[in-house]
Structure formats: structure tokens, C-alpha cells
């Protein structure tokens, strides 16, 4: 029952979002001009029609780190709730888990994965 209200709210929000998307199409003027839909590039012609080529590899590394640590977070969430009933056993177990996690973080740090990846400049 709790989730039915949530689902109704979800449906309403999707509807409102679609209205927002179509508002300009409904009420805006339609006067097409030759260069109005040209991608923004400081007013010069595009060197390359597609921008979806390569992006900085630093972001890829951040994604990998996120995967590692967010999965650990998924393990820790249930523990935070039942920690009260686990006592000393729960504390030691999770302390070891966080210790290993920290070791992984230190390893990534030592390897330089936490630094921003600058490109090598050739002179």
C-alpha cells in the first residue's frame, strides 16, 4: 500500500515532465531559420560535425572508483540498521571490512588513481 501512493506520484510526475517538454512546441513561434539549430561553437563553422568522439579519461577512472566504493556502501547499509543487535561481533566484523576498504583506498591513492589525470604535454 505504501508504494501505491509512490507509483501514483511517479505517474503524475512523468505526465508533468512530458507537459514541460512539449510546452515550447505548443506555445512557441515556428519560424525556422537556416542556422538557428546549428550547434554552439563561438560563431565559427564546426570543425567536426559530431562532438561524440572522445572524452577525458579521468572521468572513466572516476567511474571505476565509484563502482568499487558504492558496492561497499551497499554492504554497509544493512549493517548500520542491525548493528544495534549484533554487539561486539558486528563491530569487529565491520571494522575489518572498513579496514580492507581503507587499504583499497590507500592503494588507489598510492597508485595515483585519485589524482586528476592530466595529459602529458609534449614539447
Q: Name the residues that contact another protein, by CB under 8 A.
A: 1-6, 8-10, 12-14, 16-18, 20-21, 23-25, 27-31, 36-41, 49-52, 55-56, 58-59, 62-63, 65-66, 69-70, 73, 76-77, 80-81, 83-84, 91, 94-95, 98, 101-102, 105, 109, 114-116, 118
Residue whose CB is less far from another protein, 5 or 123: 5
DSSP 50: -
The CB-of-45 to another protein minimum distance in angstroms stands at: 13
C-alpha cell belonging to residue 4: 501505491
Exposure on the CB side of residue 3, measured as CA atoms within 13 A: 0
Residue whose CB is less far from another protein, 3 or 120: 3
The CB-of-122 to another protein minimum distance in angstroms stands at: 20
Residue whose CB is less far from another protein, 80 or 123: 80
C-alpha cell belonging to residue 118: 592530466
The CB-of-21 to another protein minimum distance in angstroms stands at: 5
Those residues with Cβ within 8 angstroms of residue 26's Cβ, 6 or more apart along the chain or in another chain = none
Q: What angle do CA 95, 107, 67 make, to 5 degrees?
A: 75
- The CA distances from residue 45 to 4, 32, 110, in Å, are 52, 19, 44
Amino acid at each position: 500500500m505504501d508504494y501505491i501512493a509512490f507509483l501514483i506520484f511517479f505517474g503524475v510526475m512523468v505526465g508533468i515532465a512530458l507537459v514541460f517538454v512539449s510546452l515550447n512546441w505548443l506555445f512557441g513561434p515556428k519560424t525556422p531559420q537556416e542556422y538557428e539549430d546549428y550547434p554552439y561553437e563561438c560563431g565559427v563553422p564546426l570543425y567536426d560535425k559530431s562532438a561524440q568522439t572522445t572524452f577525458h579519461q579521468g572521468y572513466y577512472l572516476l567511474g571505476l572508483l565509484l563502482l568499487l566504493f558504492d558496492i561497499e556502501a551497499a554492504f554497509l547499509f544493512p549493517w548500520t540498521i542491525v548493528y544495534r543487535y549484533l554487539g561486539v561481533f558486528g563491530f569487529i566484523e565491520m571494522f575489518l571490512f572498513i579496514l580492507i576498504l581503507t587499504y583499497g583506498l590507500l592503494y588507489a591513492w598510492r597508485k595515483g588513481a585519485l589524482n586528476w589525470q592530466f595529459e602529458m604535454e609534449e614539447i
